[in-house]
Amino acid sequence: MKKALVSGGSGALGEAISRTLARDGLHVVVHAHAHPARAERIVETIRAEGGSAEAICFDVRDHQVCGDALEALVERIGPIQVIVNNAGIHDDVPLAGMSEAQWHNVVSVSLDGFFNVTRPLLLHMLSTRWGRIVNLSSVSGLIGNRGQVNYAAAKAGLHGATKALALEVASRGVTVNAVAPGVIASPGTDAAVSDAAVRSMVPMKRRGTPGEVAALIGFLASDQAGYITGQIISVSGGLA
């Protein structure tokens, strides 16, 4: 059984991704930081659905803690062959009023988190000559968004990392892609973006669902997607 790690797995999108991968037959390690109880609940749900899962907790921004936790994980369960770098936060404010902490915290979770999670697992993955790395981006990284200079910069940086790493590992049977969701239904976005605003800016006139994003990630993590790498794929209802 192949093993998958979903960072930021305790949120709405992380849960959809974790459950999708488990239904596809993977053992899923659901990562959390601030909300470990949510990750444990998702693990229980997956197991109730007949899947295999466990939870892990660490701060993706902490290089040493992250590396130690992941090396111990691989030593215990074997190589992780699917990595979904889903951990991300936003702290929206116009750049003129943005603090240094708001800049660094948002960039660190997405970019340092990508490095801190992927690097300790990569050599183990390459040794199996099969792997899938999927990085969660955003349409903000493609087209920008007012008040999200930090978030857009972090996600655009993830696009460059995706394309460069894809070139480094392609010959070893490992693919690296990014998925860029648009307005996806969740408690946070539902409160922040009105239905009228969605109808105005999204060509399909609706929010996407976590399941629609997770379905694409499930495909990219499968054997069928073995010739797709270095791509940034938008799931945005035509927004980008």
Q: What is the mean pLDDT of residues 131-138?
A: 98
Specify whether 227 is catalytic: no
Each residue's pLDDT tens digit, 186-235: 887 777 788 898 999 999 999 999 999 999 999 999 999 999 999 999 99
Host H or E run for residue 164: helix 149-169
In which band, very low, low, confident or very high, does the pLDDT at 123 lie, cut at 50, 70 and 90? very high
Q: What are phi and psi of 239, to 5 degrees?
A: -65, -35
Q: Residues 15, 151, 178, 213: which is the catalytic one?
A: 151
E runs forming strands in 66-164: 82-85, 131-136
Please compute the mean of the pLDDT values over residues 1-29 and round it to a whole number.
97
Beta strand segments in the chain, E: 3-7, 27-32, 52-57, 82-85, 131-136, 174-181, 232-235
- Quick: pLDDT tens for 26-43: 999 999 999 999 999 999
pLDDT tens string 162-192:
999 999 999 999 999 999 999 999 887 777 7
Q: What are the DSSP E strand ranges found in 22-154?
A: 27-32, 52-57, 82-85, 131-136
Q: What is the pLDDT of residues 47-76, one digit of tens each?
A: 999 999 999 999 999 999 999 999 999 999
The gap between the terminal CA atoms of the chain, to the nearest Å, is 36
Stated pTM of the model: 0.97
- Domain residue extents for the chain: 3-235
- Residue 32 pairs with which residues in a beta bridge? 57
228: tokens are: 């797709």
Query: Per the CATH hierarchy, to which homologous superfamily does domain 3-235 belong?
Result: NAD(P)-binding Rossmann-like Domain (3.40.50.720)
Q: Could you tell me where the DSSP H helices lie in 170-231? A: 187-192, 195-201, 210-220
pLDDT at 105 over 90: yes
